[in-house]
Amino acid sequence: MDTSYPREDYPSHKREPSPAARASPPPRDHLVWSLFNTIYMNFCCLGFVALAFSIKARDRKVSGDVEAARRFSSKARCYNALATAGSVVLPLLLAALVITGVLHLSKLAHESVGFFTYQFSGSDDED
């Protein structure tokens, strides 16, 4: 019985990338974008979901499963885009609503000045 190491009796079961995958660049994992969305602009926890998919994409890319890495990378990109759009668009929408409300209230106040400045000192003979 041979107990010497390393044994080469069994073939390695590493996945070989397909010819098309070897020619194309590896997928991006969008990890930095996901970290930014998670820490600074975590709208409805979409940044955290994007971070989870980014980590999965990086793990699959390291293990050699390029097709799964592409799927997870695509999902991470979508969640990052949603988180960024939600975190940028909603404050802008809120600011627009506040500005519109202030303008409407100032116009309403300007029009109602006549109601609050009623003259009581016209003629005192009407009693």
| Model pLDDT, residue 25 | 86
On whether the CB atoms of residues 50 and 38 are closer than 8 A, the answer is yes
Provide the sign of the torsion angle of the four alpha carbons 15, 68, 39, 92, taken in this order.
positive
- Low-confidence winner among 10-14, 25-29, 76-80 (lowest mean pLDDT): 10-14
On whether the CB atoms of residues 50 and 83 are closer than 8 A, the answer is yes
Q: pLDDT tens-digit profile of 50-102? A: 999 999 999 999 999 999 999 999 999 999 999 999 888 888 999 999 999 99
Q: Where are the domains of the chain?
A: 64-126
| Model pLDDT, residue 22 | 61
Ordered alpha helix ranges (H), 1-127: 19-23, 31-39, 46-63, 66-111, 113-116
HSE at residue 21, side-chain half, CA atoms within 13 A, is 14
Residue that is written with structure tokens 């994409």 in the block:
57
